[in-house]
A and B are shown apart, each in its own frame.
Chain A
């Protein structure tokens, strides 16, 4: 496999979706409905990544008490709910995960 061909290809398909909308910003206007939809993008995408990364392991659904991710996820959720603070959420979530990981 040609590694550098892969990197160039990945660079193109990564950069263009990030840049084209910003580049053409002055030539197009966004429909209000589209703008409203965009407000939901971070919530939708990030939550999908959260659930897949914490409950799917090696392609299998893994909802069980021996899944250390579950403890990290629940601890992070509770912390985020009460503190609304990203850094505290990360700290508490990582500590809960580490404890569960060591004990399981």
Chain B
């Protein structure tokens, strides 16, 4: 039991660098949602029940632009598809975990929790009770996100200009800190470079579909370039 509790706190500890990066993002969300006309309870309710940073940002922006509810929901769905790809990548390792815990794992699946677990699995592929570690990371993120939303609601009322400071730089540098250390071979570099430029070219595509499509193209580039080196099964 103690060992599991220990693992839980290890996960919560290992996600801290990413929490530092995500915190300003949560504060800005709280301020932005308020500024765009969402009520205090709905601003916090979105963090409590939806719990997805970029989706909440997109929703807050669209609310400000006066978009209809179905459009916002559809856009959020597209933005979230990358989480589905994260979840698929967890499939091979979750089959022995009880279904209730899996639902909790799904709810807590964020870029931050996924990145924390991934970097641990790189060092320890047969990591026992990895889900406890993951849940620790997930709850660390959840608690931080709620606190930051509340802080953002308060600060947004005090400093109306807060959203102009460009605090989403925190997300940019955090993602650089995650991606650059995992770039090890040509295929991974090609994937990253493709994604970088394709996302710029497609940025004005409707409903943020540019991000989704450029990601798919970049993944295809990565797979094509790594195919030759890859093991068994390929007979020509």
Interface contacts (Cβ under 8 Å), in number, total: 283
Chain B's interface: helix, strand, loop or mixed, by majority? helix
B68-87 contacts to A, CB under 8 A, are: 68-70, 72-74, 76-77, 80-87
**In this assembly, does B32 line the interface, its C-beta being within 8 Å of a C-beta of chain A?**
no
Q: Mark A64-104, 1 if CB is under 8 A from B, else 0.
A: 00001100110011011100111111101110010001000
**In this assembly, does B39 line the interface, its C-beta being within 8 Å of a C-beta of chain A?**
yes
Closest to B58 in A: A10
Contacts of B203 in A (CB 8 A): 52, 56, 59, 61
Chain A's interface: helix, strand, loop or mixed, by majority? helix
Residues of chain B at interface, number, CB under 8 A: 95
- The answer to whether A5 and B69 have CB atoms under 8 Å apart is yes
Residue among B81, B191, B198 with most chain A CB within 10 A: B191
Residue among B92, B174, B175 with most chain A CB within 10 A: B175
Determine the distance from Cα of A44 to Cα of B175 in the docked complex, in whole angstroms.
11
A residues engaging B (CB < 8 A)? Answer: 1-11, 13-15, 17-26, 28, 30, 32-56, 59, 61, 68-69, 72-73, 76-77, 79-81, 84-90, 92-94, 97, 101
